[in-house]
Structure 1
Amino acid sequence: MKSVNRAKLDLIIAVTAFGTIGIFVRYINLPSSVIAFVRGAVGAVFLLLLLYFRRTPFRWASVQPHWKLLALSGAIISFNWITLFEAYRYTTVATATLCYYMAPVFVTLASPFLFHEKLTPRKLLCVLAALCGMVFVSGVPQSGLPEAGEATGILLALLSAVLYASDVSINKFLDQVPACERTLVQLAVAALVMIPYILLTEDVAAMTLTPLGAVLLLIVGVFHTGWCYSLFFGSMTYLPAQTVVLFSYIDPIVAIFLSALLLKEPLGWSGILGAVLVLGSTLISELPVRAAAETK
């Protein structure tokens, strides 16, 4: 049986890898929809092979009663990826990642209506702090209103955050479906949804892929999606949800660091303050009440 320490290591590897995906996407010379299709298809095949080599049968009986929600979730995932990958092309990886991490805020705002959860004063204060942080992430206090391209990237990343929040909300109703089967179906549906979308919106015959782009695309599909998703969801079986939430913040920290180091995309004082407000408020919002009280 996997130990807790091994599960933590797997989780760290997965969330660290998630923080690097923006760097890879930047250098793949294909439309975002095609990258999303390959990511879903390769990831689904990888998980299917993983089940096969582990001699674990696919439990269709646990999937069938929830296939409508799984299909909806998979479709949302595909457009979540498209909007995020497009955001990387218009704004910095750091800014897009920080906008994307507004997803917990959107889930918090929707929870009283969807899950009848009480919006406590602490959570409401965290939401307001995160929204204030987004103003700083946009760069308005430092440089004024963003240019059209930058504004487009921010809006696309925020749309991606809304889609991700929607997917998280749907998955709250799918906790009876085993993690591997759930993820496999969602990735397969995401790939299938992209096929007609690509045929209707892209000139497939005119697409070209450089050798570097092909290697990076394969890495995004096999490593970032297939292997890291299996590590991520596998670790959730052995770790408390709170640990998973806390370790997930490695993702944006890595993305911000690599954005500055490799792409020379510094945040500036406005972005740094915004990052502290967005990530800090969402982290505090997820902490148990007792833990939050102990930090005062």
Structure 2
Amino acid sequence: MKARFEIIFSMAAFGTIAVFVRNIGLPSREVALYRAVIAALALLLWQLCTRQTVRWQDVKKELPLLFVSGAAMSVNWILLFEAYKYTTVAMATLSYYFAPVIVTVASTVLFREKLTGKQISCFVMSTLGLVMVIGVSGGGGSHDLFGILLGLGAAVFYASVVLINKGIRHVSGLNRTFMQFLAAILVMTPYISMTGGSHLGSLDINGAVNLMVVGVFHTGICYCMYFSSLRYLKGQEASILSYIDPVVAVIISVAVLHEAVSPLQAAGGFMILGFTVLNEWDAGAARRS
């Protein structure tokens, strides 16, 4: 029950992150960098308190994959945070959660995993849902469409992180995330210095508080809760519970931010989430058999 509470709480918290990101008056690339810095410090503190050590001999074996996945994670964050600026939180999140579909299809090519008829149907219906979301938004303005495409781009990079992580076998989940944060920092720091430098000094009190919440709470604390819960939950249960994130994000978008979502967009979003969850359920059953 404790593990279920931890993953439900962390996923619900992830669904609120857009509200705080929108109140940080910094470019998306800087928000992503400072999020990684704050979260890396929080995870380091957690490891020291729980006496978890990083086995550097294992890290050396996986260093190239850890670096590439950390770089992909940073691009994923930047694109998602940028998507929040151009479209509604609901549409950015729903397009972002197309990532599991991308992982399923890419796995057939990279790992020669066979698709069942049910998985193919889920892929087709999830893609149709995405087309419905993009098609309606395309008629509502180029900014809205651009935001959804940014969310879809974030999904591609998130899917790449998942696929790369399949090849990382010697580093545990929490240590893996810590090393990926460090890699993201190494990638983003020179990039930001070459594209206008840091604007952290111009951040007001409200922006600074929101940045700390995103870094410490949404990333540091919630990541620790998420990874600690995975040890006690089945993979299928954890995958399905992770969809609390987009559900909360859609509710926040409509009920709190009062952003408009058309009936056709809502139907498309339901298809993306519904058939993706169904695909996860089918994949879990296949693994058990």
For the pair 1:71 / 2:67, whether they are aligned, the reply is: yes
Aligned AA (1:238): Y
Q: Point out where structure 1 has 5 or more consecutive residues left out of the alignment.
A: none
Q: 3-state DSSP class of the match of 2:139?
A: coil
When structure 1 is superposed on structure 2, of 195-204 and 220-229 the one drifting more is 195-204
Whether 1:25 and 2:26 are equivalent positions in the alignment is: no
Counterpart-to-counterpart distance in 2, 1:57 and 1:149: 46
Are residues 169 and 290 of structure 1, via their aligned partners in 2, closer, same or farther at CA, if it must alter by over 3 Å? closer
Structure 1, residues 34-84: CA drift from partner, whole Å, max 9, x if none?
100011111111111111111222221221100100000000000000000
1:15 corresponds in structure 2 to: 11
Distance 2:117 2:157 in 1: 25
8 Å contact kept, 1:75–1:189: yes
Measured against aligned partners, the alpha-carbon deviations of 1:209-268 in whole angstroms (never above 9, x if no partner) come to: 111110000010001111111111111111100110111010000000001112111312
1:150 equivalent in alignment to 2:129: no
2:44 is aligned to 48
Aligned length: 286
Deviation at 1:180, TM superposition (A): 1.4
Scaled by the length of structure 1, what TM-score is found? 0.93
Structure 1 residue 145, shift from structure 2 partner: 2.7
Q: Name the aligned partner's letter for residue 266 of structure 2.
A: I
Determine the structure 2 residue equivalent to 1:278.
272
User: CA separation in 1, counterparts of 2:104 and 2:13?
Assistant: 26
2:107 equivalent to 1:108: no
Aligned to 1:230: 224
Structure 1 window deviating more from structure 2 (206-215 vs 68-77): it is 206-215
| Amino acid of the structure 2 residue aligned with 1:117 | E
Percent pairwise identity: 46
Whole-angstrom CA distance in 2 between matches of 1:289 and 1:236: 18
Instruction: Find the counterpart in structure 2 of residue 218 from structure 1.
Output: 212
Structure 2 partner of 1:121:
117
Contact 1:62 1:178 in 2 (8 A): no
Whether 1:264 and 2:288 are equivalent positions in the alignment is: no
Structure 2 alignment gaps of length 5 or more: none
Q: Which amino acid aligns with 1:198?
A: I
Distance 1:64 1:31, change over 3 A: same
1:180 aligned onto 2:135:
no
Which amino acid in structure 1 is aligned with residue 81 of structure 2?
Answer: F
1:205 and 1:214 map into 2 onto residues whose CA distance is 12
What is the CA–CA distance in structure 2 between the aligned matches of 1:222 and 1:135, rounded to whole Å?
A: 36
Change (3 A) 1:27 1:205: closer
Q: Is 1:30–1:207's contact at 8 Å kept on the other side of the alignment?
A: no
Query: What TM-score comes out, normalization by structure 2 length?
Result: 0.95
- Deviation per residue, 1:127-172 (Å, 9 max, x gap): 11011101222252xx763421111101111000000001100011
- Please tell me the residue identity of whatever aligns with 2:176: R
- Tell me the CA shift for residue 283 of structure 1: 0.5
